[in-house]
């Protein structure tokens, strides 16, 4: 029977079934808590509550249009917005910093268990940054690169080197707008200083720094995180797997990895595949071990190892409610503090692993030191020991699971389009120029308990491929598509418009490309940059027919991502609003004025079909400017085209 009531809150039947089970088991979830929070504070939602100093909190109303210090609605909204961008930038960048430190340790032999897995990616990155690599030992190159990356955090006077990976014209835009970031740490500290009581009061100056800070994320910390992940763990290549709660095994030990940083999930993947550990599971009466992911850790190990995805953000509690999870291992970001409370109703053990991210009720274990694989094996064995505590009467694993193909790093796309020896975006650019593909859209971000989970992103994805738009996805949006079957190439191809389908079939890529975790949104910028460098679609990111969408976003990280897309010249559609509406000038700048500085701005569109129409109009406008909006040639790809494409 369909769980009609629950299907108002979530899109997939597996989640609906678990919501029903939660009710039966008397387990509270984020959906109930969202109801309990229903009348959320209107001052908070419009961004005009200030508690930056202890004369406040001050709230702006028609009768009290200024805070005690005299700050008006625009100052307060802009300060709050800047601090949200700081939160998002810090999350991605600290993630990146941990990986750089790990790269340095791996290069100097101080991190046994980790090594440089992708020397090609290392040498490519070294050349990008001007680090001598020819005829040098990989560890020496890695050490120099790691030191260079650490300077990206600490640089006080110069600007970020990573900015230089952008097209020249875009760098000129940043120069003119005065938003080129110094080192990441400096930019973040300065943002906190400027937004404290009695410092920066001009909303325009504050917003300018919000964009500067976001660039330190997308063209700094996040980009570095993706580069170093590829070096340490391998550049993703297309891989088949499965998604949704049905990936959990009825008679296997189920271990979920949840969070963001790939260092931990990599060693757990190795530990769970160890023959002795597998034997240990059999001796405990299980048929094996199922390792699966939640949120962006899921995306990291899916992209590199094909490890199945149990679910996205709003499914983290629902996965435990199956009653079949022996252990959930969490690291950083997007892990709800409610997890131990939910787990207390079952036998699931929650294990936190990052010293910067502890949760009351979780067991804290550090998987590092001299032998991380050994401690990961101990953790897996602990989960196996917990298998006997599974209560069969509480188990209900939904059957739903969808096959998928993921793993589309920029390198992989290039290879698929042009082959390893002359990998190139040429066939894609040509298809856009010939109007077989209208343009490219990045659909990114989370899901949000205030919206019907995954609905907006799924409707929009289907609508866009139908209208010949190539869709790039990351994060929980990509998992939503996986659950909806849209990462099955044959399913997506059947729904794609004719032009898009012909191109995808000819070059062998699906119409919806899963590019990684939320930190990997920098890969979307990298792809757009490759399109510019390939030629024929203008000389700046702003001229490429491309749009970004954050349909169901909830995290500060999404705000930082949105800002670095806009600062990069790519319009961004938001499916739910920023908390800035109380500062009219702030709202107007973000949703209009920014276009004068960057050639792009935000657009709030809360309906997916309206968003699809708006996106098509935006892409057509960009196509008009490029002079490529001729009618599509109705020529089918023949064998000569296929050969030319490869
Ligand atoms: Fe109120 Fe100004 Fe203090 Fe904010 S900084 S709490 S507006 S007095
Ligand atoms: S996990 S930031 S809910 S995408 Fe990256 Fe998903 Fe958003 Fe977290």
**How far is CA 283 from its chain centroid?**
39
Whole-number percent of the chain with pLDDT over 70 = 96
| pLDDT score at 587 | 98
Residue 530 pLDDT > 60: yes
Confidence of residue 117 (pLDDT cuts 50, 70, 90): very high
pLDDT tens, position by position, 609-632: 999 999 999 999 999 999 998 765
| pLDDT score at 489 | 93
Residue 531 near residue 440 (C-beta atoms within 8 A): yes
Tokens encoding 385: 């020991």
Confidence of residue 264 (pLDDT cuts 50, 70, 90): confident
Give the separation between CA 341 and CA 300, rounded to whole angstroms: 27
Residue 353 pLDDT > 90: yes
Residue 540 near residue 524 (C-beta atoms within 8 A): no
| pLDDT score at 621 | 97
Evaluate the omega torsion of the peptide bond into residue 57 and state whether it is cis, within 30 degrees of 0.
yes
Give the three-state DSSP class for 513: strand
Q: Please name the residue whose Cα sits nearest to atom 8 of ligand 2.
A: 334
| pLDDT score at 507 | 86
Q: For 235-258, what is the mean pLDDT? A: 97
pLDDT tens, position by position, 96-107: 999 999 999 999
Which ligand has the nearest atom to the CA of 52? 1
Residue 197 near residue 165 (C-beta atoms within 8 A): no
What does pTM read for this prediction?
0.95
Residue 296 pLDDT > 50: yes
Rounded alpha-carbon distances, angstroms, from residue 377 to 267, 273, 331, 479: 9, 10, 17, 28
Q: For 528-557, what is the mean pLDDT? A: 97
Ligand 2 atom with minimal separation from the 447 CA? 3
Question: What residues does ligand 1 touch, defined as CB less than 6 Å away?
Answer: 50-53, 55-58, 67-69, 71, 76, 197
The number of beta carbons lying within 10 Å of the beta carbon of residue 593 is 16
Q: Give start and end residues of each alpha helix (H) in 405-488.
A: 410-418, 426-433, 455-466, 475-483
Name the average pLDDT for the chain.
Answer: 95
Confidence of residue 646 (pLDDT cuts 50, 70, 90): very low
Confidence of residue 421 (pLDDT cuts 50, 70, 90): low
Q: Please name the residue whose Cα sits nearest to atom 3 of ligand 2.
A: 446
pLDDT tens, position by position, 465-511: 999 999 999 999 999 999 999 999 999 999 999 999 999 998 889 99
Give the separation between CA 217 and CA 215, rounded to whole angstroms: 5
Q: For 56-78, what is the mean pLDDT? A: 98
**How far is CA 568 from its chain centroid?**
17
Residue 236 pLDDT > 70: yes
Ligand 2 atom with minimal separation from the 477 CA? 4
Residue 645 pLDDT > 60: no
pLDDT tens, position by position, 586-608: 999 999 999 999 999 999 999 99
The number of residues in the chain equals 646
Residue 265 near residue 233 (C-beta atoms within 8 A): no
Ligand 2 pocket: which of 313, 335, 551 to mutate (most atoms <8 Å of CB)?
Answer: 313
Residue 419 pLDDT > 70: no
Give the separation between CA 463 and CA 75, rounded to whole angstroms: 39
């Amino acid at each position: 029977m369909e769980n009609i009531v629950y299907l108002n809150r979530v899109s997939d039947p597996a989640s609906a079934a678990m919501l029903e089970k939660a009710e039966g088991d008397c387990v509270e979830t984020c959906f109930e808590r969202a109801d309990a929070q229903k009348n959320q504070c209107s001052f908070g939602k419009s961004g005009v509550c200030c508690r930056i100093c202890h004369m406040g909190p001050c709230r702006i109303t028609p009768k009290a249009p200024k805070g005690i210090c005299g700050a008006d609605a625009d100052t307060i909204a802009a300060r709050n917005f800047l601090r949200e961008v700081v939160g998002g930038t810090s999350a991605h960048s600290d993630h990146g910093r941990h990986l750089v430190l790990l790269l340095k340790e791996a290069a100097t032999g101080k991190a046994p268990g980790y090594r440089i897995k992708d020397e090609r990616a290392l040498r490519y990155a070294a050349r990008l940054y001007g680090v001598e690599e020819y005829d040098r030992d990989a560890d020496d190159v890695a050490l120099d690169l790691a030191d260079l990356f650490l300077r990206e955090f600490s640089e006080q006077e110069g600007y970020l080197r990573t900015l230089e990976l952008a097209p020249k014209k875009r760098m000129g835009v940043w120069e003119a707008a005065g938003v080129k970031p110094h080192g990441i740490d400096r930019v973040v500290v300065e943002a906190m200083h400027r937004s404290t009581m009695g410092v920066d009061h001009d909303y325009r100056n504050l917003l300018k720094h919000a964009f500067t800070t976001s660039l330190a994320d997308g063209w700094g910390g996040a980009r570095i995180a993706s580069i170093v992940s590829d070096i340490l763990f391998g550049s993703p290549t297309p891989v088949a797997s499965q998604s949704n709660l049905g990936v959990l095994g009825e008679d296997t030990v189920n271990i979920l990895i949840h969070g963001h940083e790939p260092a931990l999930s990599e060693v757990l993947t190795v530990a769970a595949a160890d023959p002795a550990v597998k034997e240990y599971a059999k001796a405990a009466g299980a048929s094996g071990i199922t390792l699966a992911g939640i949120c962006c850790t899921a995306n990291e190990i899916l992209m590199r190892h094909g490890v199945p995805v149990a679910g996205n953000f709003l499914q983290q509690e629902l996965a435990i409610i199956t009653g079949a999870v022996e252990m959930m291992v969490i690291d950083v970001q997007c892990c709800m503090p409610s997890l131990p409370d939910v787990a207390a109703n079952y036998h699931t053990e929650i294990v936190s692993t990052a010293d910067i991210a502890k949760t009351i009720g979780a067991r804290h274990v550090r998987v590092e030191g001299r032998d991380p694989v050994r401690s990961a094996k101990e953790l897996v064995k602990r989960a196996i020991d917990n298998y006997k505590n599974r209560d069969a009467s509480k188990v209900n694993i939904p059957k739903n699971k969808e096959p998928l193909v993921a793993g589309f790093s920029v390198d992989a796309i290039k290879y698929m389009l042009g082959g390893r020896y002359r990998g190139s975006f040429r066939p894609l650019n040509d298809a856009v120029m010939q109007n077989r593909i209208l343009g490219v859209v990045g659909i990114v971000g989370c899901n949000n308990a205030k919206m019907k989970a995954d609905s907006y992103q799924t409707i929009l994805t289907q609508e866009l491929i139908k209208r010949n738009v190539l869709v790039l996805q990351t994060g929980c949006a990509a998992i939503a598509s996986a659950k909806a079957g849209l990462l099955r190439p044959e399913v997506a191809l059947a729904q794609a418009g004719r032009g898009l389908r012909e191109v995808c079939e000819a070059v062998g890529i699906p119409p919806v490309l899963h590019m990684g975790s939320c930190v990997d949104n920098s890969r979307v910028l990298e792809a757009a940059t490759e399109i510019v460098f390939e030629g024929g679609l203008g000389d700046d990111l702003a001229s490429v027919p491309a749009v970004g969408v954050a349909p169901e976003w909830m995290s500060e990280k999404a705000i930082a991502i949105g800002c670095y897309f806009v600062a990069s010249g790519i319009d961004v559609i938001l499916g739910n609003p920023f908390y800035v509406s109380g500062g009219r000038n702030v709202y107007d700048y973000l949703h209009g004025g920014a276009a004068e500085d960057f050639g792009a701005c935000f657009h709030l569109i809360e309906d997916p079909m309206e968003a699809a129409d708006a996106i098509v109009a935006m892409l057509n406008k960009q196509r008009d400017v490029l002079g490529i909006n001729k009618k599509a040639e109705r020529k089918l790809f023949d064998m000569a085209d296929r050969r030319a494409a490869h």
